[in-house]
Chains A and B, each alone.
Chain A
């Protein structure tokens, strides 16, 4: 599904990713762990197409398409979802309006009919219910006045509504207490653990992986993947830290 080959990327002319390769197949959940400054967020933003993250070498193919040739909204329409470490607050724009426009924009690119207000609200309500989020919150401006946990919950509601093929979740576990962690973890499993979908979890800590069991764990250090293993690798890291891996 996602094939990253020898990816090099710079931010403000500083090389961050230095030859990263990774293959993710449908039905798989991958976790990338690594110390601060390893390039985890840069990988997320580069795959999402954020301005300022420049690819200097390598290639990324997503379901056979050249991902790097697509604009951010085209990547979304192709089925990519980016979960933000710090979801952005947008005063004056309601969640419902934003998500309906986003979903219908994606459908338009894919040549599908737009959803009516009623059809959309039905989907939105189901996803909000599943995440234990009050429908009233969905009518409020995007993330404004939401707690850290509510913002991450809202990311999962958005993911459920947009129903992507591949989710790249950047430190979705940061700032969550144990209960919220379980709710978010359940959400990821419910929405994304399907034979035709895949997930790339980017995290500092092992604890999210207690709820979302990865098939593969990778260690990112110095802009490339230095080790790959099964779920046991995450436990090993928790025990020993990143120092030895990076060495």
Chain B
């Protein structure tokens, strides 16, 4: 299947590294994952070499799926999720993106609550230094009869340099009338008072920064089987930014 290269006018590719995409084109087929009714599924993805990873998921009635993502590597790294939830299904995304230099890192999600009673939780923490760009585009779509949908999006980004860029766009498209969809979004810098407090106790500026950032991303991998490994990899990358 041949597709046209995306342009800046494509909302889902607006902040992407188009030069990098041109080199990767055509993209590999999206991965399809089906979690059957009542099934349980969990996976961790460590994106440490660059590239575009597209996943289409379908969760059957009452299925539970959790995806943990650490997006840290390559000049351009993009994780794209298209998740469809059927009656009473539950989806969790816990993701950290950590970038420096001129890296561009993206997480782009579409979570469709196609039927009633499904729940979804997305937590994304992004740390950016240098001239890096980090983006989260997250759409939650609730179908007309998908009542009792409960969805949350918690999106936070930390900029270590004024030259780094964070884009965050939680988006809701709701056609049902009895749903809960919470979304929070914040982009900030490290608290200079907290940094001074840590340094006044003996931590070097680099160690103080790493400790605060470790706290910032902590929690996103809670529940992952290999949470400790993901934390350690995240910490190593955070340390490299200091």
Residues of A within 8 A of B (CB): 48-51, 71-73, 75-77, 82, 84, 87-88, 90-93, 97-99, 101-103, 105-106, 109, 141, 158, 162
Q: Which residue of B lies closest to A99 (CB)?
A: B201
Are A102 and B201 neighbours in the complex by a CB distance under 8 Å? Answer: yes
Are B193 and A73 neighbours in the complex by a CB distance under 8 Å? Answer: no
Q: With A and B bound together, what is the CA distance between A237 and B51 in angstroms?
A: 70
In residues 203-227 of chain B, which contact A (Cβ within 8 Å)? Answer: 203-205, 207-208, 211-212, 214-216, 218-219
Are B199 and A92 neighbours in the complex by a CB distance under 8 Å? Answer: no
Cβ of B40 under 8 Å from chain A: no
B interface residue count range (under 10 / 10 to 19 / 20 to 34 / 35 or more): 20 to 34
Q: Which residue of A lies closest to B208 (CB)?
A: A73
Are A84 and B211 neighbours in the complex by a CB distance under 8 Å? Answer: no
Q: Which residue of A lies closest to B192 (CB)?
A: A51
Are A92 and B202 neighbours in the complex by a CB distance under 8 Å? Answer: no
Q: With A and B bound together, what is the CA distance between A27 and B218 in angstroms?
A: 44
Are A71 and B197 neighbours in the complex by a CB distance under 8 Å? Answer: no
Cβ contacts under 8 Å, A106 to chain B: 202
Q: List 8 A-B contacts (CB under 8 A).
A: A50-B196, A51-B196, A73-B208, A76-B202, A90-B197, A93-B215, A98-B203, A98-B211
Cβ of B108 under 8 Å from chain A: no
Q: If A90-B194, A105-B207 touch, does A72 touch B215 (CB 8 Å cutoff)?
A: no
Task: Please classify the interface of chain B as helix (H, G, I), strand (E, B), loop, or mixed, using the class held by over half of its residues.
Answer: helix
Q: With A and B bound together, what is the CA distance between A193 and B166 in angstroms?
A: 51
Q: If A90-B212, A92-B216 touch, does A102 touch B197 (CB 8 Å cutoff)?
A: no
Contact of B204 among A92, A93, A103, A105 (CB under 8 A): A105
Cβ contacts under 8 Å, A93 to chain B: 211-212, 214-215
Are B203 and A105 neighbours in the complex by a CB distance under 8 Å? Answer: yes
Cβ of B229 under 8 Å from chain A: no
Cβ contacts under 8 Å, B199 to chain A: 71-73, 76
Cβ of B21 under 8 Å from chain A: no
Cβ contacts under 8 Å, B211 to chain A: 93, 97-98, 101
Cβ contacts under 8 Å, A158 to chain B: 201
Q: With A and B bound together, what is the CA distance between A82 and B198 in angstroms?
A: 11
Cβ of B167 under 8 Å from chain A: no
Q: With A and B bound together, what is the CA distance between A106 and B219 in angstroms?
A: 29
9 further contact pairs, Cβ within 8 A, besides A87-B197, A98-B211: A73-B202, A73-B203, A76-B199, A91-B215, A92-B214, A92-B216, A93-B211, A93-B215, A101-B207
Cβ of B200 under 8 Å from chain A: yes
Q: Separation in Å of the A124 CB from the closest CB of chain B?
A: 14
Cβ contacts under 8 Å, B219 to chain A: 92
Q: With A and B bound together, what is the CA distance between A87 and B193 in angstroms?
A: 10
Are A72 and B196 neighbours in the complex by a CB distance under 8 Å? Answer: yes
Q: Separation in Å of the A25 CB from the closest CB of chain B?
A: 23
* List of 7 A-B pairs having minimum Cβ-Cβ separation, nearest first: A92-B215, A76-B202, A106-B202, A102-B201, A72-B199, A88-B197, A102-B202
